[in-house]
Chain A
Amino acid sequence: MSNTSKNFLQSSIGKKLVMGLTGLFLISFLVVHCFLNAFIFFNDGGLMFNVGAMFMAKNPLIRAMEYVLFIGLIWHMVQALILTIENNKARPINYAYHNGSANSKWYSRSMGILGTLLLLFLIVHLAHFWVKSRFTGLPGEDANGNENLYAVMQQVFAIWWVVVIYVTGCISLAYHLLHGFPSAFQTMGWNHPKYNPLILKVGTAFSIIVPLIFALMPIAMFAGWVK
Chain B
Amino acid sequence: MSSGNMKITLKVWRQRNAKTNGQLATYQLNDISPDMSFLEMFDVLNEQLIVKGEDPVAFDHDCREGICGACSMFINGRPHGPKNKVTTCQLHMRSFKDGDTIVVEPWRAAAFPVIKDLTVDRSAFDRIIAKGGYISVNTGNAQDANSLPIPKVDADKAFEAAACIGCGACVATCKNSSAMLFVSAKISQLALLPQGQVERVARAKNMVAQMDAEGFGNCTNTGACEVECPKGISLENIARMNREFYVANLKD
Q: Does B222 contact A (CB under 8 A)?
A: yes
- A91–B220 touching, CB < 8 Å: no
Residues of A within 8 A of B245 (CB): 11, 13
- A108–B222 touching, CB < 8 Å: yes
Q: Find B178's partner among A8, A90, A92, A95 (CB 8 Å cutoff).
A: A90
- A99–B77 touching, CB < 8 Å: yes
In the bound complex, how far is the Cα of B210 from the Cα of A6, in angstroms?
A: 10
Q: Find A4's partner among B11, B205, B221 (CB 8 Å cutoff).
A: B205
Residues of B within 8 A of A76 (CB): none
- B215–A89 touching, CB < 8 Å: yes
In the bound complex, how far is the Cα of B111 from the Cα of A192, in angstroms?
A: 31
Q: Find B218's partner among A8, A12, A98 (CB 8 Å cutoff).
A: A12
Q: Does B249 contact A (CB under 8 A)?
A: yes
In the bound complex, how far is the Cα of B209 from the Cα of A49, in angstroms?
A: 51
- A96–B24 touching, CB < 8 Å: yes
At the interface, is chain A mostly helix, strand, loop or mixed?
loop
Q: Does B144 contact A (CB under 8 A)?
A: no
A82 vs chain B, min Cβ distance (A): 9
- A5–B218 touching, CB < 8 Å: no
Which of B29-37, B92-100, B236-244 lines the interface with chain A?
A: B236-244
- B219–A16 touching, CB < 8 Å: yes
> Interface residue count for A (Cβ, 8 Å)?
47
In the bound complex, how far is the Cα of B235 from the Cα of A99, in angstroms?
A: 20
Which of A53-61, A65-73, A127-135, A180-188 lines the interface with chain B?
A: A180-188
B242 vs chain A, min Cβ distance (A): 4
Q: Find B236's partner among A87, A89, A191 (CB 8 Å cutoff).
A: A191
A121 vs chain B, min Cβ distance (A): 21
In the bound complex, how far is the Cα of B111 from the Cα of A87, in angstroms?
A: 12
Residues of B within 8 A of A182 (CB): 221
Assign chain B's interface to a size class: 35 or more
Residues of A within 8 A of B110 (CB): 89-92
Which of B2-10, B42-50, B61-69, B223-231 lines the interface with chain A?
A: B223-231
In the bound complex, how far is the Cα of B81 from the Cα of A103, in angstroms?
A: 12
- A100–B249 touching, CB < 8 Å: no
A145 vs chain B, min Cβ distance (A): 49
In the bound complex, how far is the Cα of B24 from the Cα of A17, in angstroms?
A: 39
In the bound complex, how far is the Cα of B236 from the Cα of A192, in angstroms?
A: 7
User: Which B residue's beta carbon lies closest to that of A196?
Assistant: B236
Most buried by B among A13, A15, A189: A13
Contact code string A19-50 (vs B, CB < 8 Å = 1, else 0): 00000000000000000000000000000000
Q: Does B195 contact A (CB under 8 A)?
A: no
In the bound complex, how far is the Cα of B175 from the Cα of A109, in angstroms?
A: 7
In the bound complex, how far is the Cα of B236 from the Cα of A116, in angstroms?
A: 30
Residues of A within 8 A of B132 (CB): 1
In the bound complex, how far is the Cα of B78 from the Cα of A102, in angstroms?
A: 8
Residues of B within 8 A of A191 (CB): 235-236, 238-240
Q: Find B209's partner among A4, A83, A98 (CB 8 Å cutoff).
A: A4
Contact code string A190-214 (vs B, CB < 8 Å = 1, else 0): 1111000000000000000000000
Residues of B within 8 A of A6 (CB): 209, 212
- A189–B246 touching, CB < 8 Å: yes
- B211–A95 touching, CB < 8 Å: no
Q: Does B87 contact A (CB under 8 A)?
A: no
In the bound complex, how far is the Cα of B235 from the Cα of A14, in angstroms?
A: 18
Decide: A100 near B224, CB < 8 A? Known: A5-B205, A5-B209, A8-B249: yes
A residues adjacent to B (C-beta < 8 A)? 1-6, 8, 11-17, 83, 86-87, 89-100, 102-105, 108-109, 111, 179, 182-183, 186-193
Query: Can you spell out 5 A-B residue pairs with CB atoms less than 8 angstroms apart?
Result: A3-B252, A11-B208, A98-B74, A102-B82, A187-B221
Q: Which 3 A-B pairs have the closest CB atoms?
A: A99-B77, A191-B239, A90-B217
B residues adjacent to A (C-beta < 8 A)? 11, 13, 24, 74, 76-78, 82, 103, 105, 108-111, 131-132, 136, 173, 175-178, 180, 199, 201-203, 205-206, 208-209, 211-212, 215-224, 227-228, 235-236, 238-243, 245-246, 248-249, 252
